Amino acid sequence: MSRRGLSFICQNCGAAASRWQGKCEACGEWNTMVEEGADRPAGPGRKGQKGRLFKLEPLTGEAKDAPRLASGLAELDRVTGGGFVRGSILLMAGDPGIGKSTLLIQATAALARAGHRAVYISGEEAAAQVRLRAERLGLSDAPVELAAETSVEDIIATLSEGKVPRLIVIDSIQTMWTDLVDSAPGTVSQVRGAAQALIRFAKRSGAAIILVGHVTKDGQIAGPRVVEHMVDAVLSFEGEGSHQFRILRAVKNRFGPTDEIGVFEMTGAGLREVSNPSELFLSERDLGSPGTAVFAGMEGTRPLLVEIQALVAPTSLGTPRRAVVGWDPSRLSMVIAVLEAHCGVKLGGYDVYLNVAGGMRINEPAADLAAAAALVSSLANSPLPADAVYFGEVSLSGAIRPVSHTPSRLKESAKLGFARAVLPEAARGDANDGKGGDGKSGLATTHVGGLTSLVAEIAALGKPRQNASPNNGHNAGQKPTQGGKSRGQDG
């Protein structure tokens, strides 16, 4: 083969170079340049021809709602924004084994049962394996059209015959290959080429296509970062291996919101929709032990209550450990710094561990207050009241800033049997506005203006351990720090 037309493509970011390099100049990754055949131009060459004329349309005019097709799985529809849009392409990304194939065979079966033409193309499993799984899930009777194929040209030719499918699942894009590109399946050029061909087919035919994409260890969609830019929506399917909960999150969505999540539970009979996730996340609470606080959070338009667990323990290291699961480590550092600077809580000699129960991941700053409460509760060995929820953003000055959706948070808390809420001072009007606030929700509210008063509150409520200062809120963390203080100062 001649070397003309060959190029080196970064498998991480898709950047091209004309010669091999140890380090990709675009993304800075090492050893990611792989020689791939240059893409041939798509479509027939039009050298020397004048461009075709097309019609320009005004922006105003009859704005039609994107025609959608509900999948029949309410949690999936919530994330897509109401169903699959005709002619759209959606990328479903997730770790291997998280349940992408299971979710999509369930969605295809639900659509097929509703009388729509739904096609499932598996490039990873043999048709018999998919059939076996469908049988286990009790979906055998659904008129899904199934094939194990990997050639994009063959797939498009086959699906162009007959009635246009309403939904086509391609499992997975990494196994697909197109004749237009010379390199091996799974490489960036192939994945990009295959995705482009399928996108053209979706736009032309009006079928909605879901591409399954695997994610590498560091959370990137393997190889085809480029595909993210090409598709209409990117859904990420997440979960901790040890938990049965699975969370579907829209990372990008051209036709709907990106802050909604769908919650599923992996059971022996496939994925079960969880319509009230708070109940699930709070189902195994460790009542009465210090270091746990319930956070009344929001995911999109839906309130979601989760337990935040903290453990503050004397360190044996020069530099104490700060470990976080399910929350932003830099926000933990900030909350710790505010506690130290404004509330007299010294954590320099302590390891701090923070965990969001149930494998949930929180992105909201509103969790600051709950995290701070859990930390102080653990340090002062003072359990927080089991019937209280916390929410509010902590600012660097130690003030508690208001957050949005106070009424919804309170309403959900009351629904789940909580009796009181600790929330920002500035939310007083919000909570009493009669739109489901504490006026209606029946929750006793404690409004805190600053973190210092929260620390005082916790010390007043709890039964501090024997050697801790029982009387002064400001000193809630003071006594226990003494052992670690010298070490903290060393480090």
Chain residues in the site for ligand TYD (CB under 6 A): 94, 96-102, 133, 136-137, 266, 268-270
- CA distance linking residue 174 with residue 470, whole number of Å: 61
Rounded Cα gap, residues 439 and 423, in angstroms: 15
Number of residues that bind Mg ion (CB under 5 A): 1
Which one of Mg ion, ligand TYD, none is in contact with 269 (Cβ closer than 5 to 8 A by kind)?
ligand TYD
Q: Which residue has the tokens 């291997």?
A: 96
Q: How far is the CB of 221 from ligand TYD (least distance, A)?
A: 13
Nearer to ligand TYD, 15 or 231 (CB): 231
Q: Considering the complex, what minimum distance in angstroms separates the CB of residue 170 from Mg ion? A: 11
Does position 187 bind Mg ion by CB under 5 A? no
Judged by beta carbon, residue 266 or residue 282, the one nearer ligand TYD is: 266
Cβ partners under 8 Å of residue 386, min gap 6: 285, 287, 288
Q: Min. distance of Cβ 104 from ligand TYD in angstroms?
A: 8
Residue with tokens 């509210």: 445
CB nearer ligand TYD, residue 124 or residue 182: 124
- In angstroms, the CA 314 to CA 480 distance is 9
Q: Which of 32, 71, 88, 101 binds Mg ion (CB under 5 A)?
A: 101
CB of residue 172 to ligand TYD, shortest distance in Å: 8
Strand locations in 166-207, DSSP E? 167-171
Do residues 341 and 308 touch, judged by C-beta distance below 8 A?
A: no
Decide if 354 contacts 313 (C-beta within 8 A): no
Q: Distance of alpha carbon 97 from its chain centroid, rounded?
A: 16
Q: Which amino acid is at 401?
A: R
Q: How far is the CB of 210 from ligand TYD (least distance, A)?
A: 12
Choosing among Mg ion, ligand TYD, none, which partner's interface includes residue 102 (Cβ < 5 to 8 Å by kind)? Answer: ligand TYD
Phi, psi angles (nearest 5°) of residue 72: 95, -10
How far, in Å, CA of 214 to CA of 96, rounded? 6
Cβ closer to ligand TYD: 96 or 429?
A: 96
From the list ligand TYD, Mg ion, none, pick the one residue 270 interacts with, judged by a Cβ distance below 5 to 8 Å according to partner type: ligand TYD
Q: Which of 176, 210, 169, 201 is nearest to 190 (CA)?
A: 176
* Smaller CB separation from ligand TYD, 264 or 390: 264
- Of 102 and 382, which has the nearer Cβ to ligand TYD? 102
DSSP state of 461: H
Nearest-approach distance from CB 187 to Mg ion, in angstroms: 20
Question: For ligand TYD, which is the closer residue by CB, 237 or 327?
Answer: 237
**Toward ligand TYD, which CB reaches closer, 99 or 402?**
99
Q: Which stretch binds Mg ion (CB under 5 A): 99-107, 114-122, 229-237, 422-430?
A: 99-107
Least gap, CB of 185 to ligand TYD (angstroms):
17
- One-letter identity of residue 208: A
Burial of 442 (0-12, 13-18, 19+ CB in 10 A): exposed
Q: How far is the CB of 478 from ligand TYD (least distance, A)?
A: 49
Beta-sheet pairing, 208-214 with 167-171: parallel
Interacting residue ranges for Mg ion, rule: CB under 5 A: 101
